[in-house]
Amino acid sequence: MDLHGKILIADDDPSFRDLLAAILSDAGHEVIAVGAKADAYDRAVIDQPDIILSDINAPTMHGFQFIDWLQSSPATNHIPVLFVTGFSDEETIRSALDRGAVGYITKPFEVPRLLATMVRVMEEYPVVRWEPHAPFPDDAGEWQGIQYREWPFIEHCLQGLLQRAPVRTLLLEEPQEWTTDLLFEAGSALVGLRLLRTYDRHPVAHYHVHAFKRALQRAGLDRGFLYTFLEPTPFARLSARLLGIELMGLRDTARLLRAGMLAEHTPKARHPFEALVRSIEASLIDVRFAPFVRRLREELESLNNSTLAVRDEHDDTAGGAERLVFLSVTDDGALTFTAANPSASFHVSQSDFYDLLARLWMQRRLKGNELSGEAFDRSCLLALFSRLPSLRCQEQEVHLP
């Protein structure tokens, strides 16, 4: 059976992408070829291809993150995905098929086999065309399905919001993949706002918050709102607030973008920025936390390239034997613990270490098993905290003075 369809190629290798596009075009298919998976998702929503061909490894969005988004979205979950990749191990193939891929072809491949596979897929999966409508309204009419829309549509909603903003606004940087930064006036202060759709289908992690904090610092700002498309955990909200960032979930983001989309039809409606300004004026930040973190970082720097006596929790003799562990502290505050005999190492990123400090600050104390589930890692952190003058350690527990 001679079938021709609309094919979307998502591959970050331009040479292979162009070659594959030429092969499929010569075979009579309509081809759309893009490099970034985030762009490919947007094109899938807009163009509604018959098949998506994707690689797996990529510098930004991974192929598995890509198919997770495709499978989650009501606009794309009917589109068959065929992986064309250099990975041939059974675990990767099984993971791809478990995520919903309809086929898996390893490079290098024979062109007739690829074309025959595509014909088989088109025969098995009838053409379904999703028609966009005001965007995925749910029963509550709160537009939470907007998280699945193409990013140009989301940016269009945001532009509508900016055009009628009651305060001055400015884009901070050129928009990145699924990320837009801007600032607006809040009285005499300037406040940042980031709209972020993450690659993975998980709530925003602390490293997303820290990335936004660094963007605020580059712009000379200390307060901001981070709008996301999944609901953050209560702890994530609290720890972000310690950095001067208000973490907003899907419900808030949907309301914000809905106001932008309807701006031209409801010119007298209250602008969302007015509520943000009021919340900034009413909010109270614990001003003691930032100096506490700075003080700890200074104490950490004084211990850089030093050795710690770390107790071996698995040794039951006389309180446990000790071994020396070398501590390295990077400029951004990341930690690496390295032991020679027996060989072991433990790395703590800057954002992970901040996460520990935020938990400690809010709870006032942390037990050893709350620091880490691994005995070596836990022992290293307890040994480090015992050397920091701003903290107290006692019986497998760290607490504030």
The larger pLDDT score, comparing residue 328 to residue 318, is at 328
| Residues in Cβ contact with 80 at an 8 Å cutoff, skipping those fewer than 6 apart | 50, 51, 52, 102, 103, 121, 124, 125
Its pTM stands at 0.79
- Report the C-alpha gap between 199 and 230 in whole angstroms: 11
Quote the percentage of the chain above a pLDDT of 90. 35
Residue indicated by tokens 């289908």? 201
Query: Of 122, 110, 56, 45, which Cα lies nearest the Cα of 83?
Result: 56
DSSP-assigned states of every residue in 272-313: HHHHHHHHHHH----TTHHHHHHHHHHHHHHTTTEEEEEE-T
3-state secondary structure of 52: strand
pLDDT for the residue 33: 97
Residue 51: pLDDT band with limits 50, 70, 90: very high
Q: Mind listing the pLDDT tens digit for each residue in 354-376? A: 888 888 888 888 988 888 878 88
Where exactly are the structural domains of the chain? 6-124, 144-282, 290-399
- Report the C-alpha gap between 44 and 51 in whole angstroms: 9
b/e code 361-385 from CB counts within 10 Å (16+ = b) = beeeebebeebbeeebbbbbbbbbb
Res 272 pLDDT > 90 = no
Architecture of domain 144-282: 3-Layer(aba) Sandwich (3.40)
- Report the C-alpha gap between 379 and 327 in whole angstroms: 13
pLDDT for the residue 287: 66
Retrieve residue 278's tokens: 């009021």
**What's the mean pLDDT in 8-17?**
95
Burial class (CB in 10 A: 0-12, 13-18, 19+), 94: exposed
Q: Are 354 and 206 in contact (CB under 8 A)?
A: yes
- Report the C-alpha gap between 358 and 364 in whole angstroms: 9
Residue indicated by tokens 């900016």? 162
Express the helix, strand and coil content of the chain in percent, nearest 5 each: 40, 20, 40
**What's the mean pLDDT in 187-192?**
83
Q: Domain 6-124: what homologous superfamily? A: Response regulator (3.40.50.2300)
Residue type, 339: A
Query: Of 123, 72, 129, 132, which Cα lies nearest the Cα of 102?
Result: 123
Res 352 pLDDT > 80 = yes
